[in-house]
Structure 1
């Protein structure tokens, strides 16, 4: 039996993917986006400043979108996305060593965020019972008479306050979400983990005289052990262009120094290796420098409080992850599948608290992976997990072995692409190699 109406706050990737996933189980799905509608497919919405930067889908995200929109990968390639062999076409310098490169069966898509998001929005727009509305700000939730559940939202549209009712409200509005503060007023304090990373992203799009011959994406990762804090990536994108991104932790990348093209190019010479600097010197910068700053990452533990029935929190409203690892969209896609699968099985609404806990289980291993790496930088502040030093030592051996052991590198790629759990890195054969390597 279908439920009546679901309301999704926030029309970003998480909101759109969740709408597609739950659309078979509701008569109506309404997406409420506060930003005005973009002028065209290439325009970046104000609410997604990270859209000006590199976006490569991980394998988990790619598989999730293929499930939600059959034919996704072929469609994206036809629109200009670049399909690459994830191991052969990626040149990755990590913790002072180059990863192995060899032909594999794993593929990745490279493209700009507007190309990807415009495709997803177009596909969601084809779903008859999903309505996407721009220019609507959600100001509060509406509670049932006994305050046990949420039965809708109060919105501001064209300076008028209105009420929209629904069986389910999902907050995917991102870091600006009001849900945590709203719950605090009701006496429910949401625990959160915060790690101060002082990250700054700077990106420019370039046209090169000719495309690189031996790679399609190159990542130069800083080595924290060598006190390095700045890394860079060169990624091919559609229209025979490339994105170059610099990322610096702990406020070590000053936006003023990379504001113009000359300053940006010169800054790439400060990376651990000169590869990217040498690639772009003869190139033409096609854009201004886009800056995206992430002072801290945060995980709000909504699964640990008593949420009103009918309310769910997902996407960046739930957890803002370090974007250097490129996992945000794929986490959102996995959450969307989990929410869709839940409503496929639950009747009529089931226990929403179990679903919120399921989303937390998706985040938990990724969060641990990310903060374990972020805490390698002296000066990063936050609550450190138990056994961090041992975990960091072991994982670093995995990183170093991935420069010469194909099996271990394949397993590492599966873990970092969120298609296998981190436990596969602790197989007896792998532990033996780690102990031999030390």
Structure 2
């Protein structure tokens, strides 16, 4: 990354900080800018600015968020902040897809910040931003047909399983592994895009075609071979077997274990790719702030599953599947040379995460019933007021 770009990022971060800080803290913003300008090394100056941003921004946001309520109940009242936090929490957990969308955007942003600090080529940042735009667009378009999910889910899963098998048979090979498809000079990993969505869909809809698609996907993972994705299969299916076992899950889980065993028989010699693999560790070698950004980014991926599991008992199966899928992807990245989802370079996981959000409920169980009752009375749409306040 050029020195001029680092200085522009410093200037952008300082502008964001000064625009966000309340009047009482503006002196801190000017102090950060002056200190960064005084540091001759551009990389050290950027790291100092990002460190200051991480430290001051939460306090600035909290100050603005609670300001409208402090006049009503007093600045020192704990009830004012507590009630606001609960409203925001309820608004977020009532809309699992919206919460996941927020987590995806924040995780990608943290990944971009890490790559900027690490000196990744600007093309890498552009690819991840483009993948986020594609993922969110697909989520918005496909989300409109959620009401007919059962009508298209069987056929869609079978088509996706066919795409995974085609990748295993005809995809681009690297050291004997055929996991990628080359599109316009970019290497796309279809399993990271399609398999999470397939598994979360299977947690909601149990049928013979859905089970057959999961078995075919397991075969594809064995043929590629892809130990990380085979591990994702058995992780998700094991969670479903514990929560809501049936014969469909039993058959799919047996296929998953066979697939994982097949991947263990073939050595995986693929080397680590910079900004893609092993960055859960290598980021700390760059700077502690970079490492924390990476950890925070992967941690955000699990928030929708954790929030949904704890606050929406009616839909625990899809939340468990969603959490198991992305926890398995994170563990694979920690244990081997596999892509670090979302925060590392590569658009496949970003698109896959957005598509897997499609399988989460639009509204959690209790809130969905309340929303139906409200619609019958008012013919209105659900309000995101408190969530939008938090985002602002």
Task: Give the alignment's TM-score, normalised by structure 1.
Answer: 0.23
Q: Which structure has greater helix proportion?
A: 2
More relative contact order in 1 or in 2 (CA 8 Å, sep 6+)? 2
Task: Give the alignment's TM-score, normalised by structure 2.
Answer: 0.25
